[in-house]
């Protein structure tokens, strides 16, 4: 079954989005029979990918359609269960690739919550009543404030190690240590308690922010909201835009949007993503951008590229190499890029730039070999040039192709390449590229706006290889054949290790360290074998473990 990442509040099965002025209530109410696949029920507000697709959509709409919302309350419609986390039956029956990509997507969604807190003037508050375990608590950890009913039964837990022989897969271990600064020994105790802890101990250990008797819960929430509304209102006069459904045509070999086309080569196990630049000039002002809404090229392209990346991750696991190309007029791309950077203080421009930051990170974190091909007609300028810097390799043509009247390809740097779109390591892609030579980034800054031909790009270290027409097709063919001959497992490890040099952040720990270990643990017999904990969950039998340490 092909997974579709497009939805809207009218189609939600598992969430209710209720708006009350500046407050949004995001209420989890999982439909037990509404799982994405057959073979399991989503009991106890447990979730699968479908639940998180809706959550991701809701967060996007709160940012673009409801910029006046400044407080988001995460609640449960079930008074006895906030969320029991990822559905274990789903995990036990899912393919290894789906499990790993499911964890990655849920991590990206929780990071988007924290990104909205940091940059979109939205405060997220979790209101926990009842059981809050595993991924449910990991969702709460992504919010700014965790409020918990002190009723003798509400509890939080990360029971994956003692119960399932896996790790909390959505950043839980990292957030309790790096975000909440929990002592290592306390974190060790908490993460090995199957039953978790209740309000008073959770508060003492720093795992939540506040406990409240059930009878006072409504009043305390109202007080919190009033406290958070005291700062001057900077969002009240904003008018949101509607995120209309994407236009998408799909076949076995092609997925096409208005600005992105995906061509699949199943024999060569590659997918080529061609991004089309804007057809018209940049908006004259912020009002013109707002009037264009979701139809504006710079937002439309981000949404379409995001959808294409998720489609390839989940629906095309055998296409191991993603080839990125661009086509269009570089001068027009430069106009749109300049508009963004000049109007970055406007709320909608800022949200579009933040969205591009998340989409570019989605490229960084995609477990495929990434290659950029810069040929005649390309428009790798500024924002779009970030894509070539995200790739594992970049090939650029020197000169023209016989019979092709288009001019020789160039790449153009703008201020977009020097700050607005950092990677998970909090460095720009140029800083990451030249981690051993920071002076190179300073030198490149002086070249902003200059069209840089292939030989110059090669000399500056902006591309991996530059070939003339004689060698162009052969060199790319040899690379693709070589890549397809390597072990996909080894390539995943190679690429993930090389993409994030420099400082370690909470994000790099989640996607590097945690994902790598979870990837390995998910395949081990102790978790996934016939007698493993995931397989035996709910049977009354505990997993049988191989005691060998590696």
The distance of Cα 313 from the centroid of its chain, to the nearest Å, equals 12
Report residue 71's pLDDT band, with 50, 70 and 90 as the boundaries: very high
Asked if 253 and 193 sit in the same domain, the reply is no
Indicate if the pLDDT at residue 236 is higher than 70.
Answer: no
DSSP letter string, 35-81: -SSSS---GGGEE-HHHHHHHHHHHHHHHHT-TT--EEEEEESSTTE
Read off the pLDDT band of 296 (50, 70, 90). Answer: very high
In a domain, 504, yes or no: no
82 and 18 in a common domain: yes
Which tens digit of pLDDT belongs to each residue from 414-472?
999 999 999 999 999 999 999 999 999 999 999 999 999 999 999 999 999 999 999 99
The answer on 460 and 360 residing in a single domain is yes
SS3 474: helix
Ranges assigned E (strand) in 328-392? 369-374, 380-381
Average pLDDT, the chain: 95
Q: What is the CATH number of the domain that holds 21?
A: 3.90.226.10
- Looking at the fold, whether 112 and 169 belong to one and the same domain comes out as yes
Question: Residue 243: pLDDT above 70?
Answer: yes
Co-location of 194 and 312 in the same domain: no
Q: Which residue segment(s) compose the domain that 87 sits in?
A: 11-216+223-228
**pLDDT given at position 501:** 93
What confidence score (pLDDT) does residue 271 get? 98
Residues 180, 90 within the same domain: yes
pLDDT of residue 537: 87
**374: nearest Cα among 353, 396, 358, 398:** 396
422 and 315 share a domain? yes
Integer Cα distance of 63 and 69 in angstroms: 8
Is 292 a member of any domain? yes
User: pLDDT band for position 516 (50/70/90)?
Assistant: confident
Indicate whether 98 and 26 sit together in one domain.
yes
Mean pLDDT for the stretch of residues 499-527: 90
Of 262, 232, 409, 398, the C-alpha closest to 324 is 262
User: Is 68 within 8 Å of 240 (Cβ atoms)?
Assistant: yes
Residues 52, 116 share a domain: yes
> Does residue 516 lie in a domain region?
no
* Positions of E strands within 236-374: 249-250, 254-256, 260-265, 270-276, 321-327, 369-374
Instruction: Quote the CA–CA distance of 392 and 389 in Å, as a whole number.
Output: 8
Q: Using an 8 Å Cβ cutoff, are 36 and 57 in contact? A: no
pLDDT at 369 over 90: yes
CA distance 379 to 327: 6
The average pLDDT across 168-196 equals: 95
Q: Counting beta carbons within 10 angstroms of the beta carbon of residue 134, is it exposed (0 to 12), middle (13 to 18) or buried (19 or more)?
A: buried
346 closest CA partner among 289, 388, 402: 289
pLDDT computed for residue 232 by the predictor: 54
Task: Summarize the confidence of residues 160-164 as an average pLDDT.
Answer: 93
β-pairing, 145-149 vs 210-212, is parallel
Region 58-62: mean pLDDT is: 98
| This prediction's pTM | 0.96
The pair of three-digit structure tokens given for residue 350, joined into one six-digit string = 């800022």
| Together in a domain, 64 and 18 | yes
Q: How many structural domains does the chain have? A: 2
Residue 534: pLDDT above 90?
A: no
pLDDT score at 205: 98
Cβ atoms of 204 and 182 closer than 8 Å? no
pLDDT band at 234 (very low <50, low <70, confident <90, very high): low
Report if residue 243 sits inside a domain. no
Whether residue 545 lies inside any domain: the answer is no
Say if residue 258 is in the same domain as residue 188: no
Q: Are residues 400 and 451 in the same domain?
A: yes
Q: How confident is the model at residue 535 (pLDDT cuts 50, 70, 90)?
A: confident
pLDDT at 238: 86
Kindly list the distances between the CA atom of residue 9 and the CA atoms of 45, 46, 67, 245, 273, in Å, as whole numbers in the listed order.
18, 19, 16, 12, 29
Compute and round to an integer the Cα radius of gyration of the chain.
24
- Residues 439 and 451: their CA atoms lie apart, in Å, by 21
What is the C-alpha to C-alpha distance for residues 270 and 266, in angstroms, rounded to an integer?
7
Q: What is the pLDDT of residue 517?
A: 87
**For residues 122-135, average pLDDT:** 97
pLDDT greater than 90 at residue 256 = yes
Does 56 score more than 80 pLDDT?
yes
The yes-or-no verdict on residue 233 having pLDDT over 60 is no
For residue 207, being part of any structural domain is answered with: yes
Asked whether residue 3 is assigned to any structural domain, the reply reads: no
In whole angstroms, how far apart are CA 345 and each of 9, 215, 231, 303, 359? 29, 43, 19, 21, 20
pLDDT of residue 283: 97
Evaluate if residue 275 carries a pLDDT over 80.
yes
Q: What is the pLDDT of residue 231?
A: 52
């Amino acid at each position: 079954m092909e997974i579709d990442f497009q939805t809207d509040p009218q189609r939600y099965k598992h969430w209710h989005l209720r708006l009350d002025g500046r407050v949004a209530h995001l209420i989890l109410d999982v439909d037990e029979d509404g799982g994405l696949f057959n073979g399991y029920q989503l009991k106890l507000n447990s979730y699968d990918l479908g639940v998180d697709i809706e959550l991701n959509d809701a967060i996007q709409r709160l940012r673009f359609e409801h910029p006046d919302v400044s407080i988001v309350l995460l609640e449960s419609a079930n008074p006895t269960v906030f969320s029991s986390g990822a559905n274990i039956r789903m995990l036990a029956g899912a393919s290894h690739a789906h499990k790993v990509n499911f964890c990655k997507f849920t991590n990206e969604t929780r990071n988007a919550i924290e990104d909205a807190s940091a940059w979109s003037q939205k405060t997220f508050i979790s209101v926990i009543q009842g059981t809050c375990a595993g991924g449910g608590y990991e969702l709460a950890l992504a919010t700014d404030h965790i409020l918990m009913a002190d009723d003798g039964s509400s509890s939080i837990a990360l029971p994956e190690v003692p119960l399932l022989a896996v790790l909390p897969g959505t950043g839980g271990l990292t957030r309790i240590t790096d975000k909440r600064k929990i002592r290592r020994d306390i974190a060790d105790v908490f993460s090995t308690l199957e039953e978790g802890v209740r309000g008073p101990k959770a508060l003492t250990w720093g795992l939540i922010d506040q406990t409240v008797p059930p009878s006072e819960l409504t009043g305390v929430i109202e007080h919190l909201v009033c406290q958070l509304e005291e700062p001057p209102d900077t969002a009240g006069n904003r008018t949101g835009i509607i995120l209309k459904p994407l236009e998408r045509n799909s076949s076995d070999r092609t997925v096409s949007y208005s600005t992105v086309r995906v061509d699949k080569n199943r024999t060569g196990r590659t997918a080529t993503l061609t991004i089309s630049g804007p057809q018209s000039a940049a908006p004259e002002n912020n009002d013109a951008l707002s009037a264009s809404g979701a139809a504006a090229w710079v937002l439309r392209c981000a949404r379409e590229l995001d959808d294409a990346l998720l489609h390839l991750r989940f629906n095309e696991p055998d296409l191991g190499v993603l080839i990125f190309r661009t086509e269009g007029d570089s001068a027009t791309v430069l106009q749109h890029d300049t508009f963004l950077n000049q109007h970055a203080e406007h709320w909608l421009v800022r949200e579009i730039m933040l969205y591009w930051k998340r989409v570019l990170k989605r490229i960084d974190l995609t477990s495929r070999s990434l290659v950029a091909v810069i040929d005649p007609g390309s428009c790798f300028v500024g924002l779009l040039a970030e894509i070539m810097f995200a790739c594992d390799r970049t090939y650029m043509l020197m000169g023209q192709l016989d019979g092709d009247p288009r001019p020789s390809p160039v790449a153009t740097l703008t201020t977009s390449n020097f700050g607005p779109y950092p990677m998970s390591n909090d460095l720009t892609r140029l800083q990451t590229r030249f981690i051993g030579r920071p002076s190179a980034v300073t030198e490149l800054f002086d070249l902003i706006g200059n069209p840089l031909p292939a030989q110059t790009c090669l000399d500056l270290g902006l591309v991996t290889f530059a070939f003339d027409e004689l060698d162009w097709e052969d060199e790319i063919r040899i690379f693709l054949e070589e890549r397809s001959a390597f072990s996909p497992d080894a390539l995943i490890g190679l690429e993930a290790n090389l993409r994030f040099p420099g400082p370690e952040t909470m994000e790099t720990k989640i996607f590097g360290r945690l994902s790598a270990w979870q990837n390995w643990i998910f395949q081990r017999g102790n978790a996934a074998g016939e007698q493993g904990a995931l397989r035996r969950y709910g049977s009354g039998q505990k997993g049988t473990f191989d005691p060998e340490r590696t």
